[in-house]
Amino acid sequence: MIDLRSDTITKPTEDMRKAAYEAEVGDDVYGEDPSVNRLEEAAAEMLGKEAALFVTSGTQGNQIAILTHCQPGNEIILEADSHIFYYESGAASAFAGVQTRTIKGKRGAMDPEEVMYALRGEDQHYPETGLICLENTHNRAGGAVLPIKNIMKIYNIGKEHHIPVHIDGARLFNAAAALDKPAGELAQYCDTVQVCLSKGLGAPVGSILAGSKEFISSARKWRKRLGGGLRQAGILAAPGLYALTQMQERLSEDHENALFLAGKLSEISGLRIENQVDTNIIVADVKGLNMDSVQFVERLKHEGVLSGTFGHSSVRFVTHYDVSRKEIEKAILAIQRAAG
């Protein structure tokens, strides 16, 4: 099987397994796990923040950010197709007790003016705006990279109105690779950022939440409340550190593979590529094949390729470390057969 469902399916490399095996560990709830401490320090520095926290997942990192920044009854502003709104099981309302105010973006980027007009003024009728969330790269926009100017403008609006900005950077390193800029340059325009170690970087488990020292110490308490305080977590942090430091550079290979794949798929009649392929995600519309996405995904599975439904007639393909160019070539033939 060639698995193009997601970059989350990447398995830890031999080096990562070795790092896990050899990891120096301690009780991280006591702050005594040297491998976790090392990972948090390296991540904070890489993201240009004072401090960082190792969390179990991207969802947990985003939710801890909302819980730490907001009070119940606050409103958070986020893009209408953002992961936090679309894919986190309603956690922001279930845990933080905030309501969401969505703004439809262009390729995942909200118009800064619309964000500004959405901020609440002083009035007893209004909830207080507690947080603005951005997503980079934007998953449902097909791995779109947010323009740096867009992030900067929204961050400045937030600063002016004393509203923090959080970046859901599950794939921030993909954005950084696509722009050929260090991740810290993209993360400078936010108060807090969450990055996944377990997607394209290939670590088995975990995400990083980074921000100011004060923010991270409150976030640590929220992590504990949520049951995310782990003990000898160095076993997980050591491969995470390896992923963070050794796996970033190769992300552009995934992007090249995605572009190559998208180019070939666009030649298949009845199949239309919906997104501009900035990074490692391709979204294809299968309407022209007289199938819905469920049918197409099933047919393709019989041809030996796994993909994901992404809407009624949309199918998502994600390139990653565990699929080589040779396998991409095989996948193209399989997709041609499934379409035929």
Ligand X SMILES: *Cc1c(COP(=O)(O)O)cnc(C)c1O
- The minimum distance between CB 168 and ligand X, in angstroms, equals 5
Distances in Å between the Cα of 237 and the Cα atoms of 19, 226, 231, 320 are 9, 19, 11, 21
Alpha-carbon gap, residue 11 to 149, rounded angstroms: 35
Enclosing H/E stretch for 84: helix 83-86
Chain position whose Cβ is nearest to ligand X: 58
Beta bridge partners of 169: 195
Please, is 104 exposed, middle or buried when counting C-beta atoms within 10 Å of its C-beta (0-12, 13-18, 19+)? exposed
Query: Which residue lies nearer to ligand X by CB, 88 or 334?
Result: 88
Per CB under 6 A, 57 contacts ligand X:
yes
End-to-end, the C-alpha distance of the chain in Å comes to 20
Distances in Å between the Cα of 141 and the Cα atoms of 101, 110, 199, 206, 280 are 18, 12, 17, 24, 12
- The minimum distance between CB 280 and ligand X, in angstroms, equals 11
- The minimum distance between CB 21 and ligand X, in angstroms, equals 23
- The minimum distance between CB 59 and ligand X, in angstroms, equals 3
Alpha-carbon gap, residue 47 to 208, rounded angstroms: 10
Per CB under 6 A, 168 contacts ligand X:
yes
Tokens for 287?
Answer: 């309407």
Give Cα 92 to chain centroid, integer Å: 17
What is the DSSP-derived secondary structure letter of residue 320? Answer: -
Of positions 196, 235, 281, 332, contacts ligand X by CB under 6 A: 196
Residues 264-303 as x/- pattern, contact with ligand X by CB under 6 A: ----------------------------------------
Alpha-carbon gap, residue 313 to 18, rounded angstroms: 42
Residues 297-326 as x/- pattern, contact with ligand X by CB under 6 A: ------------------------------
Of positions 2, 4, 53, 58, contacts ligand X by CB under 6 A: 58
In this chain, which stretch among 29-37, 53-61, 106-114, 321-329 interacts with ligand X, using CB under 6 A?
Answer: 53-61
Query: Which residue lies nearer to ligand X by CB, 75 or 168?
Result: 168
- Phi, psi torsion values for 54, nearest 5 degrees: -85, 120
Query: Which residue lies nearer to ligand X by CB, 83 or 316?
Result: 83
Query: Which residue lies nearer to ligand X by CB, 251 or 268?
Result: 251
Name residues whose C-beta falls within 8 Å of residue 49's C-beta, 6 or more positions apart in sequence.
187, 192, 193, 210, 211, 212
Query: Which residue lies nearer to ligand X by CB, 35 or 59?
Result: 59
Per CB under 6 A, 68 contacts ligand X:
no
| Residue 248 contacts residue 47 (beta carbons within 8 Å) | no
Name residues whose C-beta falls within 8 Å of residue 41's C-beta, 6 or more positions apart in sequence.
52
Of positions 63, 139, 293, 319, contacts ligand X by CB under 6 A: 139
- The minimum distance between CB 191 and ligand X, in angstroms, equals 17
Per CB under 6 A, 83 contacts ligand X:
yes
Per CB under 6 A, 254 contacts ligand X:
no
- The minimum distance between CB 337 and ligand X, in angstroms, equals 29
Alpha-carbon gap, residue 241 to 234, rounded angstroms: 10
Give me the amino acid identity at 167: I
Rule CB under 6 A: which of 200-229 touch ligand X? 207
Size of the site for ligand X (CB under 6 A): 12
Query: Which residue lies nearer to ligand X by CB, 171 or 220?
Result: 171
Q: What does the binding site for ligand X look like in residue numbers (CB under 6 A)? A: 57-59, 62, 83, 135, 139, 168, 170, 196, 198, 207
